[in-house]
Structure 1
Amino acid sequence: MNYKGLVSRAAIAIAISSSATVFAQDNAPQAAAVDEGAAIIVTGTRATGVTAAESAAPIKVLDSAALEKVGQPNLNQVLSQLVPSFTAEAFGGDTANLTLSARLRGLSPNHALVLVNGKRRHGTSNLHVLSGPYQGGAAPDLDMIPPGAIGRIEVLEDGAAAQYGSDAIAGVINIILKDEKDSISGSFTGGQYYEGDGTTFSGSITFAPKIDDDTYLNFTMFHRFHGFSQRGGVDSRIYNKDGTISDSLSAEHAAMVAIGLPNAPYTNRIVGDSRSTLSTVMYNAGHDFGGVEIYAFGSYGRREASAYENYRQPWRVSRSPVLGVAGEEILYSATGFNPREAIKEDDFSNTGGIKGEMGGFRWEVSTTYGQDYAKLFTLDSANRTLFINTGTTPGNFYDGFLKASEWTTNIDIAKEIEAGMAAPINIAFGGEYRENLFQIGKGDFASTYFEGGQSYPGFLATDAGKHKRNNKAAYLDIALNPVDIWKIDGAVRFEDYSDFGTKWTWKVTSRVDFTDQVAVRGTVSTGFRAPSLLESYYSSTNVGPTSAYVQLPPNSAAAKLLGYDDLKPETSTNYSLGLVLRPIPKLNITLDAYQVKMKNRIVGTGSIVGLTGGVVTNQAVLDAIAAHGNVLDPYVLEVGDAGINLFTNGADTRTRGVDLTASYPTSVGEGSILWSLSANYNTTKITKLRLPDSLYAADARSVLEDASPKYKVIAGGLLTMGGLSVNLRETFYGKSSQVVIYNGTTPTVKAGAAAITDLEVSYALTEGLTITAGANNLFDKKASTVPNGPDGLPIDGGAVLDAPVTFTPYGINGGYWYGKVGFKF
């Protein structure tokens, strides 16, 4: 690590600004004297009129101005650059690269509950299957929500399962949509990586027509294109590191070179961003009839994306002998081929509700239906066995579909009661009914014939199926102020799942303001998360050029043959203790320590190997694969590795961490600088392994304990002077590592600590027109490279030399520049 460069950049950040995380951290004032701490919050409490500054739980409020000062038009990137405890996936394996995920406080993506206008958002249908920090993720796809539709985001960094139900173990992300009247706003953005690829164009426009004083209607349209990037080095099977042709080519490789390889010498393009187009529309509407309001909001998104997989050499798909000419061989492609996995995804959600007040009771009834439907394809590929047996194979395959839906209906009632305390007691109670569905649709004939298409076989009949469940819940929440300086908020919740039975959870939060300058707050709560239907029933075959691993459903007979049980719910106990300090006017500091202890945590087993180098090492694993009806690639059986993966309640874990925020505005001539500092330290340990070592692979432990940086610090600031604003942010990431399985060994891949600089300059040409230029990762920090094994090939990343470590939180692509035009009238 270049400490000299890190220190110099830190000095720049502190001297000029301090991570323009222009978010309201509790009562943090903004530049231009805007006090976002005065914003009324609706997350983490069911009392009315509570501000972020008064919250008993740690909550961050990100306003629309903060969201606009992140260059890449992607909500995952916005939150990652503004919230230290939030990390976004930079690169995913296989279909996960088409729908990237995110997580909060170092836990699973499934442990953060996402709400829109306070209503539960449905999850994605595209399960993150392959090993890594985001494995098992089936959380809502934040990328489907256009940033231009958002008025603010409230991030509750505290366990809240007793208030909101299953999934709210790490916290809650509540996205509040704009409800403006009589305005038109939008932006147009273009940019690309310094390498000249990953070109991105986006446009967003929000219409908010003036209807009448009691009605609002906001309608946002968003479109984005993002091109491929390529970050791996040369293909080591044919080229030297400098791109020249190797002196020790085999005759077969020499023949490929003579014909000409595509994209030479960067033949294998697996390490890079997918190419995608995303179009979304979102609306938010309501009308107040005088004491009773009806409202509706919803979204529709369409994504088409494809990602490169490992390059296949010509003899991976060959047929011998040629009909009528004994002893000769037909190759499907004389130079090989680079398959792609592709998705066509439709995502929609709609909510309708009515609320009002009668007899001192506030009441609300709402219902939400959301669905994500994804068709999967393998492109530019071939089915080896089909070609050998028939002499022909299609190049493109339909692999089947994934569908996940959620229907949630809520009734909420609240009333304030005078009891002689410093403030009325707020009593809230209500109920929820929720139905979930997950379905896998079978692939076409060619995609499921024997081993299917190279790089991604279609879903088999044994994979396909439809699974449902429902859940009924009731809650009671009481908030009171015994005296002026003391707040208490308690909640209890009862859940009844059709497949898991019943569970009680509870939460108690308290805050004491000793003076205007010092407050102490803390929370004790229990949590509960039912395994998603995707974790329980997803099934597929994950393949590489010389490997095949079957993702077994844990709720299957094949998994029982190996000793795995059906998935059970996870439970958690959360503790947090914090300080809120204002030692001098305008200086705001919060410090919150937390611990999350989880039992029966659902984890990936890692790769349980049954075949190594064509040699059987565990016959029981191969028997389980056969029992589930999967057929493996004959070439893999001859020379490769094969095994299984699945999800299981494999461990108890303990996550500990600290969140720090500080902000301070200063005057500079006729302008101001908002200085801000935020940090998160987070570590997870396995306290109990609930599986024998034979059922839990070596790489799985490191995913939980070491694959995420222990710390993330964001430091910078926002200079505002007239129509000019300069936003500088420095983000420091700790080191991380991950064990991989390579040729029967378990080497470690390491990612070093890094400092990433973001800079943005904006100028208001007129009152409603602003131009912006900026860069993310200004100094082009690159990810560490994967080391080579004894055979000279990278131990993780196919045959690509200098392949970047893909689990770095700041990504694999280096610097990104952009320009933007924003308007509001």
Structure 2
Amino acid sequence: MPMPNARLVSTPLALAVACGLALPVVAHAQEADGATRLDAVIVTGTRATDRAVLESTSPIDVLSPEDLRRAGAVNGELGSALQALLPSFNMPRQSNSGGADHIRAAQLRGLSPDQVLVLVNGKRRHVSALVTTGSKVGRGNTPVDFNAIPLSAIKRIEVLRDGAGAQYGADAVAGVINIILDDAGDGGAIEARYGAHHTKLEPIDRTLTDGQSASLAAKVGTSLGDDGFLRVGLEYKELSPTNRAGFDRIPPWDQTPANLAVQGQRNYQHGNGAAKDINGWFNSEIPLGESAVFYAFGTYNQRDTEGANYFRYPDGEANWPEVYPNGYRPVSIGENLDVAGVAGVRGHVGEWDIDASLNHGRNEYTYRLRNSLNASLGPSSPTRFKTGDYRFDQTLANVDISRLFSQGDNLHTFATGVEYRVEHYETGAGDPASYAAGPFTDRPTGSQAGGGLTPQDEADLDRNVASVYASLSSSFGENFSTDAAVRYEHYSDFGGEVTGKLAARYEFVPAFALRGALSKNFRAPSLGQSGFESTGTGYNSAGQLIQSRLLSVNNPIARALGATDLSPEQALNASLGFTSRVGETFDFSLDLFQIDIDDRVALSEAITSDALTAYIDSTFGVPGVESVSFFTNAADTQTRGAEAVANWRHPLAGGQLLLTGTWSYAETEIKRVVATPAALSAVVPDAVLFGVEERNTLTDAAPRTRSAFTASWNDDRWNLLARVTRHGSTRRVFNFGGGFEPEQVYGAKWQLEAEAEVRLGEKWTLAIGGLNLTDEYADLSNEDIFYFGNLPYDVLSGIGSSGAYYYGRVRYAF
């Protein structure tokens, strides 16, 4: 497979090999027992029980709890740690982005957040209930909420960067992230963190200290019998908001005397929202005789968050001066409850290994607003609203059996299993005042910054998924190994799909090996994408206040405009890699990949016109709808890229030095775009169903490259770490209508991180560190995009827009 640009590959690789300085970040640091994780046996991506990282047929990253703890994650968030450590993981912080302010979506290899499968202890994790419709990255997705999983609960994380639908089921298009929980049978730890941003904000020429974060985590374990254990833990986290908004210049259409009175103020908020988290978790095993074990584990997260929204000016149709004489900025409030539990039995019957389990996950989300208004109700309107309830449940049962066969020097692990999954998605209407059309018909209806779900918007959907698979992992002597799998999966709403994978690794000379894989994968549209509807009043990308509808594809209005039933996404993955290991000193891997995806599901453009408003009113008796969007199988895409990891270890000054370089590249091209339906063109002749904004979301909104160099040194007392990360460029495109489509490329940025940790006796450690120590920011947005000075930074850049962050950490282990 040809590389997109040979120079892009050769330059970082040459630097990495020559001096360890060019590629991005998976620190293969030493474990406490002195064995490197290159020798650690992996459990993801193969059914074989004896393979290590570089022996895998597909690329796998392994992160230890030390890696995660020392990633300097803001507020101890798992997502922030993964963003810092993984070469192809992207999880930008959204702002003024609706639900994405509350539940952040993550990408792997530049693909959509719902195209990565997340496992906990090898069991499928549920997704969130909220469809994120106001974001850029992850728009229209129901992503897994990584931050609902406590950082302190993790023993290690294995990341399979390859398609794995045949092995683990649908959604594993970009890869699989397997989070393995702490299973220590004794001891524990208590850890406290505190941090804050301290930054020079150029747009307002001020130095700010904000975004204070504090967390406390505790865990303890005890043995149960000879081989059993119970491990439990609690976390509490609290995050204060940041604000990187500029001075308001007031849009030209809003420049009345009353509005000009607030000119030059910071009327907007751009940055992290406030958050409070309570996390609980447990992991356990109880022996059942000599040949079986009962296991159970679970997580609990209760999170309350706040998000930012556009300012409503004093003299505007969305305001009543009697309520807000100086205007107002609505604040969204998210109440998020996330629970998951798994119980099962694992044991032996003769030469067969059997694992049977029952898995349930639930996400409940309530969306509220404060400091808002339903202007159509007049000055007596409430200022607080509940705009909707969302719930997603996933229950599944599976049975897996496997057996090891030997034929001379050849070892074969055969596995097969069945799974039955039930999914349920439900939404509930908001307060009547949140969607009511009041007596003031010249004012917008519904609560500002997100009108409530109406009774007709409510959804109640179920589906069943049954699957059966078989796999064979083989080792032919010491030099050649293979993995093969096939799966049949049947969805009650989409029918059946067959997926398959074949992967192989050949060590052609000692310490050098080639590996490659070919797989067919798929992803069925989520229940949220199939059934979610909403009605809202807010600002479009041009800053104009409009009433909008997001319609399900089954809605009669959407059908009349050309919406059709959604189809599953189909993907073909191909990869080719090279690995090398020279003793215990140096290892290196380079993997090239290509992912072709047909029928990608995405939200359409927001279709807006006076003719559309009149058509919906006259045909369906629904007045005042100024904008409509719905889900569609929007495009076929091809993603090509490469990922490299290099490690060099050497004793130094009585300790151990580890240099790690990583680099990732992923470029997505659109091969086909769905045509605008004739029914829509008949109503709005110049309408484009899937236009420049959504094309930009798929192709250029995520950084194509990320590279990093990490140096760590440790001895019996000190752990020192420094990391330099280069976040690649991103590109933003808007469609403001009338052919005005401003865009901007945000250039690549370098970020410096450092941490020093010292051991104080046998049980105490103290650490101080910082992220973005040079206080670097993304490029300032140009005047076409920065919304009249209010939003000077875009959310797309990998370096974020919060500036330098400093933290301290104290840990007591026993």
- TM-score, with length taken from structure 2: 0.90
Contact 2:759/2:766 (<8 A) preserved: yes
- Alignment pair present for 1:821 and 2:810: yes
Query: Which residue of structure 2 aligns with residue 687 of structure 1?
Result: 671
Counterparts of 2:574 and 2:789, CA distance in 1: 45
Query: Which residue of structure 2 aligns with residue 244 of structure 1?
Result: none
- Alignment pair present for 1:660 and 2:648: no
Shift of 1:726: 1.3
Amino acid aligned to 2:708: I
Shift of 1:171: 0.4
Mark the CA change 1:236 to 1:799 in structure 2 (over 3 Å): closer, same or farther: same
Query: Which residue of structure 1 aligns with residue 257 of structure 2?
Result: 251
Query: Which residue of structure 2 aligns with residue 700 of structure 1?
Result: 694
Query: Which residue of structure 1 aligns with residue 4 of structure 2?
Result: none
> Which of residues 460, 480, 486 in structure 1 aligns to 2:474?
480
Alignment of 1:357-436 (within 5 A): 357-387=348-378, 391-418=379-406, 420-436=407-423
Query: Which residue of structure 2 aligns with residue 175 of structure 1?
Result: 179
> Which of residues 89, 93, 102 in structure 1 aligns to 2:92?
89
Counterparts of 1:362 and 1:146, CA distance in 2: 30
SS at match of 1:437: strand
Query: Which residue of structure 1 aligns with residue 532 of structure 2?
Result: 538
Shift of 1:11: 11
Amino acid aligned to 1:178: D
Shift of 1:627: 6.9
The more displaced of 98-107 and 131-140 is 131-140
Shift of 1:396: 0.2
Counterparts of 2:806 and 2:19, CA distance in 1: 23
Query: Which residue of structure 1 aligns with residue 770 of structure 2?
Result: 775
Contact 1:13/1:715 (<8 A) preserved: no
Shift of 1:759: 0.8
Shift of 1:35: 1.3
Shift of 1:802: 5.4
Contact 1:318/1:331 (<8 A) preserved: no
Amino acid aligned to 1:780: D
Contact 2:434/2:446 (<8 A) preserved: yes
Mark the CA change 1:626 to 1:384 in structure 2 (over 3 Å): closer, same or farther: farther
Query: Which residue of structure 1 aligns with residue 202 of structure 2?
Result: none
Amino acid aligned to 1:115: L
- Alignment pair present for 1:350 and 2:341: yes
Mark the CA change 1:84 to 1:466 in structure 2 (over 3 Å): closer, same or farther: same
Contact 1:276/1:306 (<8 A) preserved: yes
Mark the CA change 1:287 to 1:626 in structure 2 (over 3 Å): closer, same or farther: farther
Q: Deviations over 1:707-740 (max 9, x none)?
A: 1222100112101133112111111122110211
SS at match of 2:67: helix
Query: Which residue of structure 1 aligns with residue 115 of structure 2?
Result: 111
Alignment of 1:162-561 (within 5 A): 162-194=166-198, 195-237=208-250, 250-253=256-259, 256=261, 265-269=265-269, 271-289=270-288, 290-316=290-316, 331-387=322-378, 391-418=379-406, 420-450=407-437, 451-542=445-536, 543-544=538-539, 546-561=545-560
> Which of residues 117, 124, 138 in structure 2 aligns to 1:134?
138
Contact 1:562/1:620 (<8 A) preserved: no
Query: Which residue of structure 1 aligns with residue 658 of structure 2?
Result: 674
Q: Deviations over 1:184-232 (max 9, x none)?
A: 1131111111131111111111111244332211111011111111111
- Alignment pair present for 1:785 and 2:780: yes
Counterparts of 2:629 and 2:190, CA distance in 1: 45
Counterparts of 1:732 and 1:769, CA distance in 2: 34
Counterparts of 1:19 and 1:564, CA distance in 2: 44
Shift of 1:331: 3.5
Contact 2:646/2:661 (<8 A) preserved: yes
Shift of 1:421: 4.8
Unaligned runs of 5+ in 2: 1-10, 199-207, 438-444, 677-686
Counterparts of 2:267 and 2:185, CA distance in 1: 53
Shift of 1:53: 2.9
Contact 2:454/2:535 (<8 A) preserved: no
Shift of 1:622: 5.8
Counterparts of 2:384 and 2:16, CA distance in 1: 52
> Which of residues 158, 161, 164 in structure 2 aligns to 1:160?
164
- TM-score, with length taken from structure 1: 0.89
Shift of 1:303: 0.7
Shift of 1:625: 8.1
Shift of 1:348: 0.4
Counterparts of 1:767 and 1:358, CA distance in 2: 44
Contact 1:421/1:482 (<8 A) preserved: no
SS at match of 1:447: helix
Query: Which residue of structure 2 aligns with residue 602 of structure 1?
Result: 601
Amino acid aligned to 2:259: H
Shift of 1:813: 0.8
Shift of 1:334: 1.2
Counterparts of 1:232 and 1:129, CA distance in 2: 22
Q: Deviations over 1:333-388 (max 9, x none)?
A: 2111111111111110110000100111100100111000011111111111011x
Shift of 1:799: 4.1
Amino acid aligned to 2:304: E
Q: Deviations over 1:22-49 (max 9, x none)?
A: 633xxx8669953111111111011222
Aligned length: 765
Contact 1:558/1:625 (<8 A) preserved: no
Shift of 1:515: 2.3
Shift of 1:130: 2.5
Counterparts of 1:181 and 1:632, CA distance in 2: 62
Q: Deviations over 1:295-332 (max 9, x none)?
A: 0001111011111211111233589xxxxxxxxx9643
Shift of 1:286: 0.7
The more displaced of 548-557 and 349-358 is 548-557
Shift of 1:251: 2.5
SS at match of 2:713: strand
SS at match of 1:528: strand
Amino acid aligned to 2:87: P
Percentage identity across paired residues of the two chains: 29
Shift of 1:742: 2.4
Q: Please report the RMSD computed on the Cα atoms of aligned residues, expressed in angstroms.
A: 2.5
Mark the CA change 1:18 to 1:446 in structure 2 (over 3 Å): closer, same or farther: same
Contact 1:562/1:621 (<8 A) preserved: no
Unaligned runs of 5+ in 1: 1-6, 240-247, 320-328, 611-615, 634-641, 790-794
Counterparts of 1:85 and 1:555, CA distance in 2: 36
SS at match of 1:408: strand
Q: Deviations over 1:633-659 (max 9, x none)?
A: 8xxxxxxxx422222101000001101
- Alignment pair present for 1:812 and 2:801: yes
